[in-house]
């Protein structure tokens, strides 16, 4: 009888520990989702630098997300050593984005209607560039 009681208590302890661990995991996941809900974009990889985006650029990305119903995926943000001299990526004022499942035309239309939009460029690989610099358009294909 004493063994049965000890076994039952051990089972309850194990169950309590397991549900506690699951609860902690759910809390961590909820915090991650809350953070994602606050951002209007996601980054393609952890190496993409987007933390320095000014509010103007974040507003453009939010506008694009609102217009299309999808969050842009940032493929390139701040580049400390940009490939082209004068690139706004070097000043953290530009983002290259893609939005799987949406046409380039849809992304560009949403970007054009964004308040404060500067440059909009397109590349052959489906990437769209948006920035807060002077207004200009280009196709690099």
Q: Which residue has the higher pLDDT, 29 or 109?
A: 109
- φ and ψ at 119, to 5 degrees? -85, 145
Scanning 39-139, the segments in alpha helix (DSSP H) are 55-68, 104-112
- Inform me whether the pLDDT recorded for 28 exceeds 60: no
- Inform me whether the pLDDT recorded for 126 exceeds 70: yes
- Inform me whether the pLDDT recorded for 32 exceeds 90: no
Q: Say what percent of the chain tops pLDDT 90.
A: 63
Burial letters 54-82, b for 16+ CB under 10 A, else e: eeebbbbbbbbbebbebbbbbbbbbbeee
- Going by C-alpha positions, the residue among 9, 109, 119, 126 that lies closest to residue 68 is 109
- Going by C-alpha positions, the residue among 40, 39, 36, 34 that lies closest to residue 114 is 40
Q: Residue 54 has what pLDDT?
A: 96
Which of 8-12, 19-23, 121-125, 134-138 has the least mean pLDDT? 19-23
Q: In what order do the strands lie in the sheet with 136-140?
A: 42-43, 73-76, 94-98, 128-131, 119-123, 136-140
Q: pTM, whole model, 2 decimals?
A: 0.71
Task: Look over the chain and give the mean of its residue pLDDT values, rounded to a whole number.
Answer: 83
């Amino acid at each position: 009888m004493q063994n049965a009681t000890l076994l039952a208590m051990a089972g309850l302890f194990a169950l309590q520990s397991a549900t506690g661990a699951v609860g902690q995991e759910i809390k961590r996941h909820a915090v991650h989702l809350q953070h994602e809900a606050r951002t209007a974009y996601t980054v393609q990889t952890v190496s993409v630098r987007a933390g320095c985006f000014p509010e103007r650029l974040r507003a453009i990305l939010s506008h694009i997300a609102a217009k299309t119903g999808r969050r842009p995926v940032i493929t390139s943000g701040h580049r400390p050593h940009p490939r082209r001299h004068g690139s706004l990526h070097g000043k953290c004022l530009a983002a290259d984005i893609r939005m799987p499942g949406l046409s380039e035309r849809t992304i560009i239309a949403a970007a054009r209607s964004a308040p404060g939009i500067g440059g909009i460029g397109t590349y052959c690989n489906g990437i769209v560039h948006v920035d807060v610099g002077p207004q200009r358009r280009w196709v690099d294909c």
